[in-house]
Structure 1
Amino acid sequence: MTRLFVTDLDQTFLNSERQFNVPRFSAILDQLDKRGDQFAIASGRDENWVRNKFGKLVDRIHLVTGNGATWRVKGSDELHVRNIDASALKKLEEILISDTFETISVVAFSADNMYNLAGLQQLPENMQDYMAQVYPNMATVDHLTDISEPLTSVTGIFPPVHSEEAIALIDDNNLPLHATTSGYGTVDILAESVNKATSLSMLIDQVDLAPEDLTVFGDGMNDLEMMQLAGQVYIMPNSDDRLFGRGYNVVAKDSDHDGVLETLEKIM
């Protein structure tokens, strides 16, 4: 039976410096290839960021990116995109910058580009330098509706205590959107019904796998839907408290100690 191993990135696969053990992971991919198994990333990060991080290894991996806004079968030229309904952007911006809570910054992503919303805090200088490498055409706009191309996601960054308030306010407005959080004050807004699980379901259908063939690793509430889809689930020791008590396996070591890689080696 072919198995598909799926991992979230931040605080799961990547360490606190957003790095990973490249030689160890490469050796695991070699073993998976020999066994006929497969590997996928399912991340809130968009595909450009993931490609920049994983380099040549990315062509050996299925990709579910932007929390499900885009997905790609490994080695394929076809990127499947699930865009936000543009009619919801004006109201969404009003919610994100309302006086109800403090908003640190708002960024928007298309399949290829990144946009900052003006009038809010900008990314730290070191992060701006990195993002400029990933998104050479990064731009600042006065309003989300000024962006001429379709958007795959919009991200609001808040003090962590306000992220759930922002999600609740978006939900209360009954917009054709899905809001989720990967923690740490970040709220990702996607098209209605888009999450990691719905795109992962389409991906496994294309490669002739079933949900019971999935083993997933994650740490946040934006991973919950794909955990509910999968046959086997591992959560990180640093996971959102709401993921514990669901009968999921707990990885022995955190992401700073290659917890996912060690678990994969034990499984194999």
Structure 2
Amino acid sequence: MSVKLIASDLDATFLKSDKTFNEPLFQQVLDQLHAQGGQFIVATGNHVQKVHDYFKNFKGQYQLIANNGAEVILDGELKHVWSVPNEALAVIDNLADKFTESLQLGVSFVAARRAYMIVKQPNDEYLSWAHTYFENLTIIESVDEITEPILKISLVLPQLEYEFMREAKAVLGNKVHVTTSGYGAIDIVNPDVNKANALSYIAETLEIAPEEIMAFGDGLNDLEMLEYVGQPVAMTNADEELFKHDFAISVADNDHDGVLRTILEKI
């Protein structure tokens, strides 16, 4: 079966630990993929501007699923958005108060072109990083200050992420989708949001069958996407949960061009 779409997560999958990637090798992959009528899709929990920063030398050569599937951008145009139910904002903010001592900085509320944060555990180093990571970050005191649709609520809770996820699911039920990208990072999104649904939207738009799609991931927020495609690949450095599934394994980890080297072996 030929490959018409290749989707890849970024952190700990496509990107190396220092957030770089092998640009000449990526260009080689893109040229080969485009020559056979295929396309590359970045499928990430990152927001749009952060992805554009990473791929500034590849403008117009990839499609984008951002914020874990809450946004789909095709040919540079925002095509689809799924937002978090408004009532979930205060619920997650209040729940985070129970975990303040373990929380890394605070709770972030990501909109389409900006982000808001309620700081609960002040840390100048983390705050400085947050301002570089989130697009147009505004520090707020209350969710009442947010007046636009939120695509994703994010927080980092090392060692306690699964406990927080269980409590969030218990309180909000099927009103939201709660997932982790690993390393303590938790994302709360619209219940219809995951990378699989976003990828399915792209596939249907482009009239491509799941069997013609290859996907790479390392975390539980990649699971639905890997289950959806016909050619799923888990990274050698993936969450142990992914190895319980019948996925192919990359030829190397993220620090050794695992995604790009695997693609070149398979297409």
Q: Report what 2:205 is aligned to.
A: 206
The residue type paired with residue 203 of structure 2 is I
Q: In the alignment, which of 165, 170, 173 is matched to residue 171 of structure 2?
A: 173
Kept in 2: contact 1:4–1:214 (CA 8 A):
yes
2:123 matched to 1:98?
Answer: no
Name the TM-score, length of structure 2 as normaliser.
0.92
* Equivalent-residue separation in structure 1 for 2:249 and 2:128 (angstroms): 34
Q: Report what 1:182 is aligned to.
A: 181
Name the TM-score, length of structure 1 as normaliser.
0.92
* Equivalent-residue separation in structure 2 for 1:64 and 1:84 (angstroms): 16
Which range is displaced more, 244-253 or 177-186? 244-253
Q: Report what 1:124 is aligned to.
A: 126
* Equivalent-residue separation in structure 2 for 1:58 and 1:69 (angstroms): 21
1:246 is displaced (CA, Å) by 1.6
Kept in 2: contact 1:89–1:145 (CA 8 A):
no
The residue type paired with residue 254 of structure 1 is D
Kept in 1: contact 2:82–2:192 (CA 8 A):
no
| 1:190-212 C-alpha deviation (Å, 9 max, x unpaired) | 01221111111111111111111
Q: SS where residue 55 of structure 2 aligns? A: helix
Matches within 5 A, 1:1-268: 1=2, 3-73=4-74, 75-99=75-99, 102-104=102-104, 105-122=106-123, 124=126, 127-128=129-130, 130-131=132-133, 135=135, 137-159=136-158, 161-175=159-173, 176-268=175-267
The share of aligned pairs that are identical, in percent, is: 32
* Equivalent-residue separation in structure 1 for 2:91 and 2:21 (angstroms): 39
Kept in 2: contact 1:238–1:254 (CA 8 A):
yes
* Equivalent-residue separation in structure 1 for 2:5 and 2:130 (angstroms): 34
Structure 2: where are the runs of 5+ without partners?
none
Q: SS where residue 234 of structure 1 aligns? A: strand
The residue type paired with residue 130 of structure 1 is T
Structure 1 residues 212 and 145 mapped into 2: Cα distance closer, same or farther (>3 Å)? farther
1:55 is displaced (CA, Å) by 1.0
Structure 1 residues 76 and 242 mapped into 2: Cα distance closer, same or farther (>3 Å)? same
The number of aligned residues is 263
Kept in 2: contact 1:72–1:203 (CA 8 A):
no
User: Aligned-residue CA RMSD in angstroms?
Assistant: 1.8
1:100 is displaced (CA, Å) by 8.5
* Equivalent-residue separation in structure 2 for 1:202 and 1:129 (angstroms): 31
1:56 is displaced (CA, Å) by 4.2
